[in-house]
Amino acid sequence: MQIERLYRKKILVVVPARGGSKRIHKKNIRKINNHPMIYWPLSVISELFETKQTIVSTDCDEIMSVVLETGLEIPFRRPVELSGDFTITNEVIRHALQWYEKTFHKVDIVITIYPTAVLLSKNDIIEAIKTINSDEHCDTVMSAARYQYPIQRAVYEHANGYAKMFNPEYYAARSQDLLPASHDAGQFYVTRAAIIRTEKPFIETNLKLQFIEADRVIDIDNQEDFEIAETKLKFFKPSFKGFHWRKKTY
């Protein structure tokens, strides 16, 4: 499949970038390797999609100003009721989709990309689009990574201070007899727009996984995570390539 054919289906890209980060102040635009964090995934998006296909959904004036420097427009401010600590991503993406389809035209696929996905690869997005295009029953493709150790042997600290197993019945089981487990890599979802229009969570759809190498997976929630991400970014992306928004291809 030639890369140009991937864009013949109507695609909308949404980057949810709320301003109210609690643990790392202004996380989405904090500089990492000399550039605002959100610039790294946006630079990848710019190689694949047009500005008119891409919406950064934010409630923050500073994020808006930073994003405008990339050549993107900010078509709306995210409503206050969708900007709280407990707002789920699905609601934010649905709002952006509704605005886009009312303003322009209906789309077939929505790609959600997180502003913290500094190690995002365009090849992973392309493969995920190929997957959903080749399987009519697939609703969502999620970036994922495998747990390094069997989750069936996970422990937690009980209220009395002693550790307990979540699943003690697997204490004596051999590792090779336990099902491998995976988790959300926190980079992107590729979802059919028909699913977004409903209130069904991504995880409850016919879900396939796009596996990301463990070295390129990092959840940036605190200062230590931020420093790890900086080190990884210097290794995988030693230089910033700027923005090259794609011309219309379909």
CA distances from 210 to 146, 156, 185, 244 (A): 11, 29, 9, 25
pLDDT of residue 4: 60
SS3 57: strand
Token pair 């605005």 in the structure block, residue: 99
3-state helix, strand, coil in the chain (%, to 5): 35, 20, 45
pLDDT of residue 66: 97
Domain boundaries, the chain: 3-145+181-236
What are the residues whose beta carbons fall under 8 Å from the beta carbon of 174, sequence distance 6 or more?
none
- The CATH label, of 3.40.640.10, 3.90.550.10, 3.30.420.130, 1.20.58.220, for the domain at 3-145+181-236 is 3.90.550.10
pLDDT of residue 194: 95
How many residues are present in the chain?
250
CA distances from 198 to 94, 97, 133, 148, 166 (A): 8, 11, 20, 34, 34
Kindly list the averaged pLDDT for each block of 10 residues, start to end, along the chain of length 250: 63 92 83 96 96 95 96 93 84 96 95 97 96 96 95 94 95 92 96 92 92 94 92 94 79
pLDDT of residue 30: 95
- Alpha-carbon gap, residue 100 to 50, rounded angstroms: 14
pLDDT of residue 6: 63
pLDDT of residue 1: 47
Contact 57, 74 (CB under 8 A): no
Query: Shortest CA distance to 82 belongs to which of 72, 71, 90, 74?
Result: 90
